[in-house]
Every structure is written in structure tokens, then in C-alpha cells.
Amino acid sequence: MYLSHLRLTQFKNYAQQRLSFSPRLNCFVGFNGAGKTNLLEAIYYLCMSKGYGNSVDQYNIRHGDRVARIDGTFTLDDEREDRIVVKLRKRQRKVIERNGTAYDRISEHVGRYPVVIVTPDDINLVLEGSATRRKLLDNSLSQTDPQYLNHLIAYNRLLDNRNARLKELEGHHDHTGLLSVYDAQMKAPAEYIHQKRQAFVDPFTDLLTQAYAAISGQREEVGLEYKSHLTGTDWESLLSERAEKDRILQRTSGGVHRDELVFTQNEHPLRRVASQGQLKSFVLSLKLAQYRLLEASTNRTPILLLDDIFDKLDRERVKQLLDLVMSSAFGQLFITDTDPERITSLISHNPNVDWERFLVVDGVARNEAEWKRFLEEE
């Protein structure tokens, strides 16, 4: 599977843009702020129905406009084509269409076109709080199990309602029984999420250790541990144990929304013992492990997006990564860089690679042949 065509209308800093891609490697080069990352964001939208990070739909509409549109064509393994359209409108619900038909539930789209993105901020997976690591779990499992995403949406909605009710009570006991209703409704999604996250860990750890060995060439033993309030107990017992604490704190103190992934190196917490180089290798390994897991679970080759990895990685580490993804059974790759010649020099020793380089200037992206014709006309 690969993305063959992309068309943008009033998205981010692009007024109108059409691009055709190589099924293997595509490079967007240009100065900071030119719009390279916006192209990766558009591709991510086509795959996941949303932007990555904390992107808000309305902020992805071009300044001064009220609507934006992303059109993409995926060529599948059997040569069939799927056309995906994302329509963003200010103060209105976005619309996702597949082959001319809008989804009733946008969650039905997630997982059809698996994608993994690597950004300079991924180091926060190790350094920041548990919420960033739960996002890794949720992103992976949502793309491989549609029911997981539905349960996650239901759990988070009920959690918001439960917390709102606890605040309304202001520390008093609930005599209406409303909390008990929320507790009963949260049981099924909480237990499903816990079960799937628990089953995720062992196969993912195997893939992680393989990726780390390939990238770092070092001998450290890396791993991860899944910690959850539901491990070793059931939902009713957990809420009963924490009922008084929840009443006093006016929030839900236990549940899968507090789950944690602990990363280790030689059985010690990674963030405490790893060097900067080891941390960077570990984060890349996490994403490559995610790639392999999605590939095995969806029976489709994911798209890999590498955003400004030169910004936080040394040249040798980037070379190791590119050698790995270009020489192994990886699929379509998109990469951004500020230096037009750096990526060229890194892949020049692999002349058989099918690739395209696009120069991005102020919200306009053209491949080299198009830029040459444009300059000649000027």
C-alpha cells in the first residue's frame, strides 16, 4: 500500500497543491516554515482522520479561509485505488469520505491505512509523563483493533461525566445513584482496554529489542513494563477501594486512564541511566517496533513519516536509520529536511532506490523537474 497522489485546498499554508509520489521514498526539503511538516500532517490526516500531536482541526484551515480539503489516493496491494477526502470546516464537524461515501462514524476509518510518524518531540515519550506513553499504546491499538478505539472513546466520555459529577458533589456523598450508573457503564470498556494493552506488551517488546539492536549496534538490554490499577483486581473492587479518595479529590483516581509504560535499560529505568544517544536510539526503536506491529496486525505495509529527524539526531544515527528502512522490507517513506543536499548524499550509495525530491518554498511544493520548468518560465 502507498499514497500515490495528494491534493490540498486551503490547508495550513497551502492554497492549492497537487503532488504525485514515489511508492518508495519521498523527500520534502526547504527552509523552516516553508510548509514541509504541513505535508506530513496532511498525509497523517488521510490515514488517521486527524492531525498528530495536539492539532485542532480548525487551526489547520488556511488563515482567512473557512474550509479546507485534503484529497488522497491510496494504491492498495492488489492495485485497487481508494480515494480519501478530508473536509474541515470552521465550527462544524469534519467529514471523512472514502470513495465518495462519508463515514457515519469517523472511528471506522482508523486502521485502514496504517501510519507511523517520527518527530523531534518523540523524546518526550521517555522524558514526560505517562499520558504520552498511553498515546503510543492507544495509537497502535486503535489502528489494529476498531473495537479498541470505540471502547476508548466510550471510556473517556464516561470518565469526563464521572469527574464532572464528583466535582458537582463537592466532597459530599452521592445519594442519587448517578455515580453507580457511570461505574457500571465504564466496566466493559475499562476491562477491554486493559486486556488489549496487557496483550500488547510481550510481542511489542520483542519487536522493540530487535529494532534497538539494529539501530544502535549496542549491547544494552531494553524492555518495557505495563503497569495498571486493574492488574490483579477487578473494576468493582478498584472503584470500591478508591471511593473515599475519589470523593475527597473530586476526580477518578484509579482506572486505565492512569496506566503506565515503564521503559527499562538493563532492568533499570531508562530515563535515569541512558545517555542522550541511547535515548534517541530507543525512541526510534519504539517507532520501528510500532511499524512492524501495525504491519503484522493489519496485513498492510504502513506509511512511515520522518519529520525533521536531522534536527535532533546526529548524521551517523540518521544514516543507520535510513540504511535500515531502505534495505529492509519497509514500504513508502516520507522525510523532511532543511538541507537539499544532505538527504541526497545519504542515499546516493543506494542508486536503485525509487525516490522523488520536492522543493518546498512558501507553501508551494514542486519536484525538481517542475521547479526547473518554473524557473525557466520566469
Confidence of residue 218 (pLDDT cuts 50, 70, 90): low
What digits encode the pLDDT tens for the residues 224-266?
A: 999 999 999 999 999 999 999 999 999 999 999 999 999 999 8
**The predicted structure's pLDDT at residue 372:** 66
**The predicted structure's pLDDT at residue 341:** 80
**The predicted structure's pLDDT at residue 96:** 97
Q: Which three cell numbers stand for residue 30?
A: 526547504
Specify the higher pLDDT residue, 150 or 309: 150
Domain stops at, among 282, 299, 316? 299
**The predicted structure's pLDDT at residue 377:** 62
Mean confidence (pLDDT) of the chain: 91
Confidence of residue 326 (pLDDT cuts 50, 70, 90): confident
CATH of the domain at 200: 1.20.1050.90
Residues 25 and 79 in one domain: yes
Q: How far apart are the first and last CA of the chain?
A: 38
Instruction: Tell me how far the alpha carbon of residue 333 is from its chain's centroid.
Output: 15
Residues 98 and 182 in one domain: no
Residues 321 and 231 in one domain: no
Residues 294 and 324 in one domain: no
Residues 294 and 307 in one domain: no
CATH of the domain at 53: 3.40.50.300
Residues 294 and 306 in one domain: no
Angle 371-322-308 from CA coordinates, rounded to 5°: 60
Specify the higher pLDDT residue, 4 or 348: 4
What digits encode the pLDDT tens for the residues 93-129?
A: 999 999 999 999 999 999 999 999 999 889 999 999 9
109's CB contacts (< 8 A; 6+ apart) are 49, 84, 96, 98, 103
Domain hosting residue 6, numbered range: 1-114+301-378
What digits encode the pLDDT tens for the residues 291-308?
A: 999 999 998 999 999 998
Residues 129 and 242 in one domain: yes
Domain stops at, among 244, 275, 299? 299
Residues 338 and 360 in one domain: yes
**The predicted structure's pLDDT at residue 349:** 67
pLDDT at 347 over 90: no
Residues 166 and 242 in one domain: yes
Q: Which three cell numbers stand for residue 101?
A: 461515501
Residues 155 and 255 in one domain: yes
Q: Phi-psi category of 116—alpha, beta or left, where left has phi over 0 and alpha has psi -120 to 50? A: beta
**The predicted structure's pLDDT at residue 316:** 72
Domain stops at, among 244, 268, 299? 299
Residues 237 and 310 in one domain: no
Range from 108-117, 210-219, 364-373 that averages highest in pLDDT: 108-117
**The predicted structure's pLDDT at residue 131:** 95
Residues 21 and 102 in one domain: yes
119's CB contacts (< 8 A; 6+ apart) are 52, 53, 307, 308
Domain count, the chain: 2
| C-alpha torsion angle, residues 266, 270, 276, 279 (rounded to 10) | 90
